[in-house]
Amino acid sequence: MGCTIGAVYREDGDVFLFKNLDQIGHSTYHPPEIRQGKRFKYVHLSSCRDPNGIGVWAGVNAAGVAVLGADGNTITNFTGRGWSSLNDTLECYQSILETSGSLYEGLDLIIRFYQAHRVGGNGDLVIIADRNDAVVIEYATDRWGLMFRNGAPYLIRSNFFLALSGVRPAPEENSLYLSCALRYQTGMTHLSRTAGNTTLDDVMALLRNHDHGPSAMSICRHGGKGEYLTECSFIAHLGPKHIDSYTVINGYPCESSYRKLTLDYSAELI
């Protein structure tokens, strides 16, 4: 997956968390549903052909904890025997949603899981967030870069490492890395204009954005043959009493309406 992910913290305390899921070629994804996890209810966005299979591509739970993954695209590429697959990574995301009551519980879980399962490939880039804070996790096989929000009104990534920039290919090497740089630049430019006053409409507009496109270079990606295109889009709005999730499944967000699901905050955490 080559995705755009982000988090916005409004001045009034509301939070928006978002992801565009990008793939090469078309896949079929299942509609979102609210499921009961081991500890919390959560919005389940299945990553499997079998809707009862294990693994999600994003989501938010009743504690207000969200996980948004984007893949790392590092120079290193560990594959083969002894290294974990993407399916294990997506299973870890689901475990975070089912069990984590805070960003810090999710962060501890993902570090333990990735070290124990030897996640390989091109590493991973994940945002874990809750109502109070967010952290960007850059992982490149036994190397970790953590960047907390530290009071900033927004975070955004597009497969583009900052803390571990030394394992990130240069944008000019090929179109994949150029796209990462351009989408990151677009997101930073647009969020800097709205910052702590960003609205749901602003987030939707960003996920539908066609700067440098519509093509594999834009946030809403309409790639050609063998290029990335946007298959799904997800937004979580953490309000004062409810968590609203908005999704587009199996379509471009620029051509689709978002479907809304509402999740009550867990009583044990209020």
**What's the chain's average pLDDT?**
91
User: What's 4-269's CATH class?
Assistant: alpha beta
Cβ within 8 Å of residue 125, ≥6 positions away:
5, 69, 70, 71, 72, 73, 136, 137, 138, 139, 157, 159, 160, 161
pLDDT at 80 over 70: no
> Residues 115, 83: contact at Cβ < 8 Å?
no
Per residue in 8-50, pLDDT (tens digit) is 999 999 999 999 999 998 889 999 999 999 999 999 999 877 7
What's residue 235's pLDDT? 98
Question: 152: burial class by Cβ within 10 Å (0-12, 13-18, 19+)?
Answer: middle
Give residue 141's pLDDT: 80
pLDDT at 258: 98
- β-partners of residue 155 are 7
So what's the pLDDT on residue 175? Answer: 77
Contact status, residue 54 vs residue 110, Cβ threshold 8 Å: no
Rounded to 5 degrees, φ, ψ at 178 are -65, -40
Identify the bridge partners of residue 260 per DSSP, sorted by sequence position.
246
Q: What is the mean pLDDT of residues 103-108?
A: 98
Structural domain boundaries in the chain: 4-269
pLDDT at 169: 81
Whether residue 78 is predicted with pLDDT greater than 70 in this model: the reply is: no
Secondary structure, 3-state, the chain: CCCEEEEEECCCCCEEEEEEEEEECCCCCCCCEEEECCCCEEEECECCCCCCCCCECEEEECCCCEEEECCCCCCCCECCCCCECHHHHHHHHHHHHHHCCCHHHHHHHHHHHHHHHCECECCEEEEEECCCCEEEEEECCCCEEEEECCCCCEEEECCCCCCCHHHCCCHHHCHHHHHHHHHHHHHHHHHHHHHHHCCHHHHHHHHCCCCCCCCCCCCCCECCCCCEEEEEEEEEEECCCEEEEEEEECCCHHHCCCEEEEEECCHHHC
The answer on pLDDT for 79 being more than 90 is: no
Residue 81, burial from CB neighbour count under 10 angstroms (0-12, 13-18, 19+): exposed
